[in-house]
Amino acid sequence: MRVLIVEDEDAIAEPLAAGLRREGHDVSRVVSGRAALEAPEPDLVLLDLRLPDLDGYEVCRQLRTRSGVPIIMVTARGEEVDRVVGLELGADDYMVKPFGFRELLARMRAVTRRAEGKQDARRLFTAGELEVDLRSRSALLHGQELSLTPKEFDLLALLASDPGAVFERRRILQEVWGTSWQGAGKTVDVHVASLRKKLGDPAWIETLRGVGLVLRPQ
């Protein structure tokens, strides 16, 4: 696996890179956000938040607008708001320093499996007049493109993959936000409210209390 480490502290990056190489990974490292955005696309990104130029959140946001590469944020910032912001911007996972190397390897495998599963899935979903294209990460309603954030798109794509089916909140958190942490439930509600507004009719997404969400083509 080609791994890109975005970390400006040698004391952290060098032993991490050495360990990953011992595991058979092809590792490259950059020390700034701009260098990360200019680097050839890897198979996975390990992204620090505190960088000397661009904030790691901004790097994540820009990467996600053009690529589905798995991103794991690796940072000392462990507050709940930091985790939520990182996941909303499109990170696949979030690890707080210090962390165990074996845990990191396990999470790398997990996000890679999820990414491969998405690549193997169908690329175009339709629900009534709604079309969701995974390849271009675009959604059209009545032929007009919807302006969606990365997580809004991921949520809509999941619901559109099986219109009329009930998606439990736990599954939504796992597949869209890469977490089983129930404290992120409010984040789901915020994204649902925004999607309803952009779809122009709240009836598009039905909430079944205590169960989950259903996409209802209008």
End-to-end CA distance of the chain: 43
179 alpha-carbon distance from chain centroid: 10
Q: Is the peptide bond before 98 cis (omega within 30 degrees of 0)?
A: yes
Answer whether residue 123 shows pLDDT above 70.
yes
- The whole-number average pLDDT for the span 180-209 is 87
11 CB-contact burial (10 Å; exposed 0-12 / middle 13-18 / buried 19+): exposed
User: How confident is residue 183, by pLDDT bands cut at 50, 70 and 90?
Assistant: low
Answer whether residue 141 shows pLDDT above 90.
yes
- The whole-number average pLDDT for the span 176-197 is 81
Give the whole-angstrom CA distance, residue 160 versus residue 130. Answer: 8
Question: 112-122: per-residue pLDDT in tens?
Answer: 887 766 654 45
Give the pairing of strands 144-145 and 130-133.
unpaired
pTM for this one? 0.58
Please tell me the number of Cα atoms within 13 Å of 195 on its side-chain side.
Answer: 30
Write down all domains in the chain, each with its CATH number in brackets. 2-119 (3.40.50.2300), 122-215 (1.10.10.10)
Answer whether residue 145 shows pLDDT above 80.
yes
